[in-house]
């Protein structure tokens, strides 16, 4: 049965300083000792969670995309995280899924954090992105999406080989310490209810608005057991996820077969 290695990078981001963030994150990626296939960076990893879209947004052909392409080609890894992208006059909190050959997929954050005014500056996404790696299906999400379980709810692929549509959810985030209980509880809930692995990668430290982030990056198994829970310090962690364990959980406890069938209207 196949395994999948994933590395979380919990970092204290430099406020609105792209050069400093990319240099710091490259050092962090260079420091990874374990063999890994996917490296996950926080939400808005090159700027921090800023609403200064006109000053910070890049096109899809911008310098941060070029940096990601160079890193993946040198390291032979998949690299993911979100950034501020301008596309046809609209601004998106866009997660990039960069493959080792420089090809990529993208997911635009569906749920904008109105409490911080994100809905005033960013356009909402209207489609999910489920990536495929070595037979694993990975549902890619951004921060506030975590509070909306319908958007990420496991669908069942029909037919003789009926099965859940994905095996792992990745959340990239800038989630404040003052709501860390919700972060930890909801990550665990998403793993249990969807019978999948969940990886949540958060930043640490104070942002430019004086909001403190306690990290709490986590990797959780399909039973809701915590494989890894970071503290507040900056650190990398590499976990090897086992498809055999996932399949055993779904076979022993086939709750997914009793799920409701539904369609999501993204409009």
Let me know if residue 265 belongs to a domain. no
162 vs 38, higher pLDDT: 38
Closest to 40 in 3D by CA, of 199, 188, 152, 196: 199
- Residue 232 sits in a domain whose CATH number is 3.60.110.10
Given the residues 37, 43, 58, 118, the one annotated as active site: 43
The answer to whether residue 266 sits within a structural domain is no
Write the burial class of residue 15 (CB in 10 Å: 0-12 exposed, 13-18 middle, 19+ buried). Answer: middle
**Catalytic annotation on 43?**
yes
- Provide CB contacts within 8 A for 5, sequence distance 6+: 34, 35, 36, 37, 38, 238, 239, 240, 241
Encode pLDDT of 193-203 as tens digits: 999 999 999 99
Q: How many domains does the chain divide into?
A: 1
Question: Looking at the domain assignment, is residue 193 inside a domain?
Answer: yes
Of these residues, 58, 69, 143, 196, which one is catalytic? Answer: 143
- To the query of whether residue 103 is one of the catalytic residues in this protein, the response is no
In the chain, the percentage of residues whose pLDDT exceeds 90 is: 92
196 labelled catalytic: no
pTM of the model: 0.97
What single string gives the DSSP state of each residue in 217-239? -EEE-TTS-EEEE--SS-EEEEE
Which domain covers residue 211, as residue numbers?
3-258
**Model confidence pLDDT, tens digit, residues 155-179:** 988 777 788 999 999 999 999 999 9
Q: Which pLDDT does position 1 carry in this prediction?
A: 57
- Domain membership of residue 145 (yes or no) is yes
What integer pLDDT is reported at residue 215 of this predicted model? 98
- What is the Cβ-side half-sphere exposure of residue 177, based on CA atoms within 13 angstroms? 13
If you average pLDDT over every residue of the chain, what do you get?
96
Confidence of residue 41 (pLDDT cuts 50, 70, 90): very high
Asked whether residue 264 is assigned to any structural domain, the reply reads no
Average pLDDT of the residues in 226-231: 96
pLDDT at position 54 is: 97
Q: What is the pLDDT of residue 209?
A: 96
Q: Return the ∠ at Cα 129 (arms to 168 and 232), rounded to 5°.
A: 50
In a domain, 143, yes or no: yes
Exposed / middle / buried, residue 152 (Cβ in 10 Å: 0-12, 13-18, 19+): buried
Q: Which residues contact 97 (CB under 8 A, 6 or more apart)?
A: 78, 80, 104, 105, 106, 107, 129, 131, 140
Catalytic residue (choose from 18, 58, 69, 109): 109
pLDDT on residue 261? 85
pLDDT band with cut points at 50, 70 and 90 for residue 248: very high
Question: Given this model, what pLDDT does residue 244 score?
Answer: 97
pLDDT in tens, 87-96: 999 999 999 9
Rounded Cα distance between 135 and 267, Å, is 31
């Amino acid at each position: 049965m196949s395994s999948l290695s994933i590395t979380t990078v919990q970092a204290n981001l430099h406020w609105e300083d792209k050069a400093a963030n990319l240099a710091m994150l490259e050092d962090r990626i260079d420091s990874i000792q374990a063999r890994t296939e996917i490296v996950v960076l926080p939400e808005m990893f090159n700027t921090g969670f800023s609403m200064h879209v006109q000053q910070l947004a890049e096109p899809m052909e911008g310098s941060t995309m070029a940096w990601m392409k160079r890193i993946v080609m040198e390291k032979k890894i998949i690299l993911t995280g979100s950034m501020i992208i301008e596309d046809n006059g609209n601004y998106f909190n866009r997660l990039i899924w960069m493959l080792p050959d420089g090809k990529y997929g993208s997911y635009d954050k569906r749920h904008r954090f109105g409490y911080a005014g994100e809905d005033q500056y960013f356009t909402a996404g209207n489609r999910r992105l489920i990536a495929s790696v070595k037979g694993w299906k990975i549902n890619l999400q951004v921060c506030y999406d975590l509070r909306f379980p319908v958007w990420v709810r496991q669908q069942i692929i029909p037919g003789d080989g009926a099965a859940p549509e994905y095996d792992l959810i990745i959340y990239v985030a800038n989630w404040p310490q003052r709501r860390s209980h919700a972060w930890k509880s909801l990550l665990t809930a998403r793993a249990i209810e969807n019978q999948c692995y969940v990886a949540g990668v958060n930043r640490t430290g104070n942002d430019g608005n004086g909001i403190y982030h306690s990290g709490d990056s986590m990797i959780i198994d399909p039973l809701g057991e915590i494989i890894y829970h970071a503290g507040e310090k900056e650190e990398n962690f590499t976990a090897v996820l086992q498809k055999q364990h996932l399949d055993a959980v779904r076979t022993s406890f086939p709750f997914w077969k009793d799920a409701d069938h539904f369609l999501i209207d993204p409009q």
